[in-house]
Amino acid sequence: MTATTDEALALSAIQVQVHPLVLLSVTDHASRSATGARKRVLGVLLGQDNGASINVANSFAVPFEEDEGGADGAKSTWFLDHDYIESMMEMSKKVTAREKMVGWYHTGPRLRASDLEINDLMKRFIPRPVMVIVDPRSRDTGIPTDAYFAVEEIKEDGTATQKTFTHVPSSIVAEESEEIGVEHLLRDIRDTTTVGTLSTRVSAQLSSLRGLQSRLVEIREYLELVVAGKLVVNHQIIYNLQDIFNLLPDIDNANSDAAIKQSFSVANNDQMLVVYLSSLIRAVIALHALVDNRAENARGEEEGEGAGGDKEKEEKEKDKGEAAAGKEKKEEKKEKK
User: Tell me: the pLDDT tens digits for 255-310?
Assistant: 666 777 788 888 889 989 999 999 999 999 999 999 998 888 888 888 777 666 66
Share of the chain above pLDDT 90, in %: 27
Q: How confident is the model at residue 211 (pLDDT cuts 50, 70, 90)?
A: confident
Residue 168: how many other CB atoms lie within 10 Å: 19
User: Residue 219, exposed/middle/buried by CB under 10 A (0-12, 13-18, 19+)?
Assistant: middle
Find the mean pLDDT for residues 175-197: 65
Domain assignments of the chain as residue spans, ordered by start? 2-189
Question: What is the C-alpha to C-alpha distance for residues 114 and 174, in angstroms, rounded to an integer?
Answer: 32
> With respect to CATH, is domain 2-189 assigned 3.30.450.20?
no
User: What is the pLDDT at residue 6?
Assistant: 61
73, pLDDT greater than 60: no
As a whole number, mean pLDDT of residues 58-87 equals: 82
- Report which of 46, 34, 111 is spatially closest to residue 85, judged by C-alpha positions: 46
Question: Is 141 in contact with 214 (CB distance < 8 Å)?
Answer: yes
β pairing state of 53-62 and 145-153: unpaired
Determine the average pLDDT of the residues in 21-32.
89
Mean pLDDT in the chain? 81
pTM of the model: 0.58
Dist CA 57 CA 21 (whole Å): 7
